[in-house]
Amino acid sequence: MASAVLKKSVTDLTRRKARTIFTVLTLAIAVASVGIFAIPSLMNTAMQKEVQANKLPDLTLNLKPVSLTSAQLSTLRRLPNVVAAEGRSYLQTRVWIGDRRVKAVIISAPSYRNQSVDVVSLTSGRLPSGSSVLSDVQNGKQGRFSGREGSTIRIVGVGNRTVEAPVSGVARNMVGDQAAIGLDAVVLYATPALLTRLGAETGYSSLELRLADRSKLAADRTVAATRRYLKANTSFTGFSNLPELRKPGSYPGKELFDQLASIMNVFTVLALLAGLVLIANTMTTLIGEQRREIGMMKAIGGTRRQIRRVYLRTALLLGAAGSVIGVGLGLLVANMVVRYFGSSFFAISPGFEVSLPVVVASMVVGLVAPPLAALPAIRRGSRIAVREALEEVPALQGGQAVADRALRRLSFLPRTAQIGVRSVTRRGRRSVATVAQIALAVGTLLSVLALINSVTTTTNAVWNQARWDIELNTVVGRQLDARADAVIRATPGVARAQPALTNLIKFDGKDAFLNGYRGRPLFDTPISHGRWFSTQEAAERAPVAVMASNLARTTGTDVGDHVALQTGAGLKSFHVVGVTSTQWNNGTALYVPLQTMQTYLGIDTVNSYLIQTTSSDHAAIDRTTTRLEDRLTAAGYGIGTEVKYSGQRANVSQNKAISTAIGVLGLLIVAISMVGLVNAITMSVLERTREIGVLRCIGARAREIRRIFAAEGLAVSLFGWLLGIPVGYGLARIFSWLMLETIGIDFGFTFPPLNLLIALVGTVLLALVIMQLPLRRAVRLKPGEAIRYA
Amino acid sequence: MEVGTMSATLTLEVARDRKAAAALIALERVEKVYRTGKLEYPALRGVDLEIDAGEMVAVVGPSGSGKTTIMNMITGIDRPTGGSVMVDGQAIHALSEEQLAIWRGRNVGIVFQFFQLLPTLTALENAMLPLDFARKGSKHERYDIANHNLELVGLGDKLDHLPAELSGGEQQRVAIARALASDPKLIIGDEPTGNLDTQTAAEMFELLHRLNDEGKTVLYVTHDLDLAARAGRIVTIRDGLVVGQ
């Protein structure tokens, strides 16, 4: 008996091969959804590997270029807490790609042979010497410059000299890669000699240090010691920017990824939910079909326990097969997403990685969920009376519930559609599960569309608040002084020029911008509380600040509070006099008088200008931009430019790309749900095989059979769509809140009614397409075989 | 396949010349082999059978003898492996699945052992279904025909009942009303009383008899020799062959 019972568990699977394969694949997709949880950890592993290989600096100090001898650099390396130190020089300029002038950043390290910090690693060719340069791997990937060893590149130098530099190879470096993506520039690695030939100010414009103790206190001490040493021994006057302390485990862009990951997790939970419903649904159907056999086994002496065991084993076998495929599928999907995110946003090419905890979790879900989900159905099945099970004529159930009576009112439909629609209630539990899955899919789709819409609308609205046309910046290298100011103001096409000092800081552990202006900036800064600082306060270098509302909200700051900021000259306290609702700089900026900031940094230069042009014509703006670039470069200033109209376009499309990338994960839920629909219709066709035979016997043609089942599928889809609207509304609210909480940007809330129509059309079309397989099976059934089907 | 179809058509033409005028149903050397995996099971091994219009014929024989297979050949539910099947001048074996479905809907009424009604449709809707498929008449006309047929079988007061709300006998009456929908010349019953108690079975048989009196050709498979004896002719099948008529 035992062996025959055991055999039944297996032969139940081999008897109907197509159905077994379908069930296993369904379970596999559900198990694969667990694999998505691996994405953040896989991404982190890949980035940590990169951080290790790159020897990212723990502390970066930006300075007005200072010349250091190698002996002085060695002394800096011996300062307490310093493990390694390197100097870096930068030149923001342009290069010629054919006839086009393209933004460029030239990075120079004293030696590429022995790098102990911020490593530039060769991917092909050889290290640069003399005038040759390495091209960043992202130049080619971004389609800006595809030159490799053997080619040359023309670099625009200071004072209008152009240098034709041979390319010695291709290299990668985390900071450079990020610059190539984020700054829209060609990134090249050169020798200090080439930088001098290009006319850049000699000396290092940043010092990069790796520390033994990376705590804030120890880092502050190192900053102070470095400042003391530089002041005593070099021409150093002050840091041009606030010291950047990298948090342990952090990397450029980590914050963005963490934010994305938290939103991704919401999708993963939804996908898992959809997967579990799918498992439950599949197993319930499977057991439901075996009622007659259960009756038969009981009739010949099988106990409830024995019968339960038979089906639990079958469920376990299905789960095991589903797990094996699902784990593989999950690994594949997770690695593909990581690869996509890695190459699109972080300039890395992650290798294939396995997250063991997620694999174990997937296996557990795959092995435990199917028997667990099958248990209620197995219990119900094993309790059935023998006579009832054996006499059951499947076609005789249903049609008497309230829902059936309601559906009978749809008498205006063609008969085939009526049969289909009324069938929805025949397997109520399954229909409810399928409707729920489709509702989840529609809800996800609606919320993602709403998210993309809000992000695009808000991004455009923020840019529309800008009254400047060109932004000049010298993030690194020589700063803009009074002479640069004169050059800018004398350039034809410039109507207004506003100097600014912008810095990226950490405030309460959050990324924030510290922006210094002499008064109100050239973009709208509506005040929601308090006031803007006065020109008198600015002139008196008062420690006052206006905080952007998102930063104020996340840090719990309000008008009247005092905030302490780490500046190059130590900790300084600012009095918050107002809160502005501007979303510029993600609504996370702190606005202070320019003069105050300059005093604290010990400088009289700025690193940015907002420029209003005399004409708003795009061609005129472009001409003015070129003129500014030429004149400032000729005067010895390496600058970068951002034109508002193209920046707006780029920003909108980038934000759209990010929100779409998040949305792509949502498609997984749509896929799982649609498998649910295929499952439901396939099972419906299988269960009603005999009925199809009868219909064929009384004159139904293939298209009528097709219409009956298509109507059933469409009815389920339409119910799903209807239920999906409130689900989508709720999810969209959650995402809007999540964006504010995690990314800190108030993208607002939109739920455009047009999207309901898009979702409706999408649901109907997708349902029609994916139902083709089960429908084909239904119409291909031969009446003779269908009638004999049991 | 092309060659096979050609020869079948040729056989059909010859058959038409010889038999069409005489019999409503003509089976000539009909063979049927069922294949399940590696096994081959010959269900019919060269059946010759003729049934004239207006006859009432019972098909009897032990389980697995090929009774149902003969019915399936006549209704086109299954295709013969060899031989020809002519019904009312139509070569059934030469029609496609689609043509067969349409042909059945218009020309044959089938009554199954387990009634096979659609559970979500009312008695009236079930009785109307073949007319809907055949697109015969207007909606009103279809309603009138189905209504008339249900009254004929004694269910005029249960038009809006669902199958689950009807007794076994009543369900089978609905099935007969459905079989009558297209006013077919031929009514086929596969164990039509097999799932009914003796009293109900007798009533059902009376109904079939009445239909035969009205000119319908009635052909039914049964295990019940008493019921078989009440037919005009008994065809006995054994091991896939007609052994007695």
Confidence at A767, pLDDT banded by 50, 70, 90: confident
Option in A395, A396, A702 nearest B98 (CB) = A702
Can you tell me which residue has the tokens 């079309």?
A: A765
B120–A425: do the CB atoms touch at under 8 Å? yes
Q: 3-class DSSP state for residue A296?
A: helix
CB atoms < 10 A from the CB of A39, how many? 25
List chain A residues with CB under 8 Å of B112.
694, 787
B78–A693: do the CB atoms touch at under 8 Å? no
User: Which residue in chain B has the smallest CA separation from A781?
Assistant: B97
Say what the pLDDT of residue B85 is: 93
pLDDT: which is higher, A229 or A267: A229
B149 touching chain A per CB within 8 A: no
Q: How would you label A709-725 residue by residue, b for 16+ Cβ within 10 Å and e otherwise?
A: bbbbbbbbbbbbbebbb
Distance in angstroms between the alpha carbons of the first and the last residue of chain A = 25
Option in A398, A698, A782 nearest B129 (CB) = A698
Counting residues of chain A whose pLDDT is more than 70, the rounded percentage is: 95
B165 touching chain A per CB within 8 A: yes
Pairing of strands A570-580, A527-530: antiparallel
A426–B119: do the CB atoms touch at under 8 Å? yes
CB atoms < 10 A from the CB of A338, how many? 27
Confidence at B58, pLDDT banded by 50, 70, 90: very high
Say what the pLDDT of residue B20 is: 41
Query: Amino acid identity, residue A711?
Result: A
What is the rounded average pLDDT of the residues A774-779? 81
Choose the weakest-confidence range: A367-371, A698-702, A786-790, B38-42.
Answer: A786-790
Q: Residue A391: is its pLDDT beyond 70?
A: no
Option in B78, B120, B182 nearest A419 (CB) = B120
Give which of A596, A499, A601 is closest to A546, Cα–Cα.
A596
Say what the pLDDT of residue A167 is: 94
What is the rounded average pLDDT of the residues A230-246? 82
CB atoms < 10 A from the CB of A439, how many? 21
Name the DSSP letter for residue A204.
E
Q: ipTM value, please give it.
A: 0.78
User: pLDDT averaged over chain A?
Assistant: 84
Q: Residue A495: is its pLDDT beyond 90?
A: yes
User: Which residue in chain A has the smallest CA separation from B70?
Assistant: A784
Sequence-separated (6 or more) residues with CB below 8 Å from residue A381? A287, A288, A290, A291, A294, A307, A311
**A residues 132-161 closer than 8 Å to B (CB):** none
B182–A699: do the CB atoms touch at under 8 Å? yes
Q: 3-class DSSP state for residue A299?
A: helix
Phi/psi class of residue A398: alpha, beta or left (left: φ > 0; alpha: ψ in -120 to 50)?
left
Name the DSSP letter for residue A688.
T
DSSP H/E element including B169: helix B168-179
Any idea what the Cα angle at residue B35 is, between residues B33 and B40, rounded to 5°? Answer: 70
Say what the pLDDT of residue B13 is: 41
B129–A396: do the CB atoms touch at under 8 Å? no
Option in A400, A419, A699 nearest B121 (CB) = A419
pLDDT: which is higher, A295 or A577: A577
Can you tell me which residue has the tokens 């077994």?
A: A20
Alpha-carbon gap, residue A771 to A735, rounded angstroms: 31
Q: Residue A788: is its pLDDT beyond 70?
A: no
Phi/psi class of residue A748: alpha, beta or left (left: φ > 0; alpha: ψ in -120 to 50)?
left
Say what the pLDDT of residue A780 is: 82
B93 touching chain A per CB within 8 A: no
B178–A698: do the CB atoms touch at under 8 Å? yes
Name the DSSP letter for residue A434.
H
DSSP H/E element including A336: helix A304-345
Q: Residue A268: beta bridge partners?
A: none
What is the rounded average pLDDT of the residues A196-221? 88
List chain B residues with CB under 8 Å of A687.
none
Say what the pLDDT of residue A134 is: 94
Say what the pLDDT of residue A398 is: 58
Choose the weakest-confidence range: A50-54, A146-150, A254-258, B83-87.
Answer: A254-258
- Maximal C-alpha separation, chain B: 55
Say what the pLDDT of residue B53 is: 92
Alpha-carbon gap, residue A763 to A100, rounded angstroms: 46
Pairing of strands A100-108, A186-190: parallel
Q: Count Cβ atoms within 10 A of the Cβ of residue A693 and give its class: 0-12 exposed, 13-18 middle, 19 or more buried.
A: buried
E runs forming strands in B52-144: 56-60, 82-87, 90-91, 108-111
Query: Amino acid identity, residue A659?
Result: S
Q: Count Cβ atoms within 10 A of the Cβ of residue A282 and give its class: 0-12 exposed, 13-18 middle, 19 or more buried.
A: buried
User: From the candidates B73, B116, B135, which should be mutated to test the interface with A, based on the most A CB atoms within 10 A?
Assistant: B116
Give which of B168, B221, B196, B191 is closest to B57, Cα–Cα.
B221
Confidence at A387, pLDDT banded by 50, 70, 90: low
Q: Residue B94: is its pLDDT beyond 90?
A: no
pLDDT: which is higher, A342 or A134: A134
E runs forming strands in A561-635: 562-567, 570-580, 589-593, 608-613
Q: Residue B1: is its pLDDT beyond 60?
A: no
pLDDT: which is higher, B205 or A544: A544
Inter-chain contacts counted by CB atoms under 8 A, chains A and B: 103
User: pLDDT averaged over chain B?
Assistant: 84
Say what the pLDDT of residue A98 is: 79
- Encoding tokens for residue A462? 């923020």
Say what the pLDDT of residue B12 is: 38
A301 touching chain B per CB within 8 A: no
Reported as a single tens digit per residue, the pLDDT across B135-183 is 888 889 999 999 999 998 889 999 999 888 898 889 988 998 999 998 9
Helix ranges (DSSP H) in A635-742: 644-687, 689-697, 702-738
Option in B104, B120, B121 nearest A697 (CB) = B104
Any idea what the Cα angle at residue A355 is, between residues A352 and A360, rounded to 5°? Answer: 135
Reported as a single tens digit per residue, the pLDDT across A529-572 is 899 999 899 999 999 999 998 888 888 889 999 988 776 666 78
Confidence at A677, pLDDT banded by 50, 70, 90: confident
Instruction: Write the CA distances from B171 to A254, A623, B124, B158, B177, integer angstroms.
Output: 70, 88, 12, 11, 10
A694 touching chain B per CB within 8 A: yes
Q: Is the separation of the CB atoms in A49 and A249 below 8 Å?
A: no
B116–A415: do the CB atoms touch at under 8 Å? no
Reported as a single tens digit per residue, the pLDDT across B186-201 is 999 988 887 778 888 8
What is the rounded average pLDDT of the residues A192-221? 88
Alpha-carbon gap, residue A95 to A106, rounded angstroms: 10
List chain B residues with CB under 8 Å of A422.
120-121
B98 touching chain A per CB within 8 A: yes
Sequence-separated (6 or more) residues with CB below 8 Å from residue A142? A180, A181
Predicted structure pTM score: 0.71
Q: Residue B5: is its pLDDT beyond 50?
A: no
List chain A residues with CB under 8 Å of B172.
none
What is the rounded average pLDDT of the residues A379-391? 71
pLDDT: which is higher, B39 or A718: A718
User: From the candidates A425, A687, A698, which should be mutated to test the interface with B, based on the most B CB atoms within 10 A?
Assistant: A698
pLDDT: which is higher, B198 or B32: B32
